[in-house]
Amino acid sequence: MKEEYSVIILSKSGDFLLENEEQLNRRENGIEADEPYIMTEDETAHRIRAKEVFIPYSSVENIQYGKFEQETEKAN
């Protein structure tokens, strides 16, 4: 099923998708992403089983804002 996301964080450890900008929190040493999805090799977004993920600025390659539709695998 396709879902809409507002933020994509491109990083060395993976590409993270957020449903809205409020889920992105900038901290002194990096970014906290609340309830993120991660893009897999088959171009499908999967929900991470973590409340938040910390991504150090040294690992962040780019942050994109907009409306992005992505095939999403929902957990049962």
pLDDT in tens, the chain (76 residues): 899 999 999 999 899 999 999 999 999 999 999 999 999 888 899 999 889 999 999 999 999 999 999 999 876 5
Q: Quick check: 30 and 56 in contact, CB under 8 A?
A: yes
Domain membership of residue 34 as a residue range: 2-68
Does some domain include residue 74?
no
In a domain, 34, yes or no: yes
Instruction: Tell me the CATH number at 64.
Output: 2.30.30.100
Report if residue 76 sits inside a domain: no
d(CA 7, CA 53): 14
Give a yes or no: residue 26 inside a domain.
yes
Residue 19 lies in a domain: yes
Task: Please tell me the pTM assigned to this model.
Answer: 0.90
Report if residue 73 sits inside a domain.
no
Residues 65, 58 contacting (CB under 8 angstroms): no
Q: How many domains does the chain have?
A: 1
Look up residue 20 and give its two tokens.
């809205």
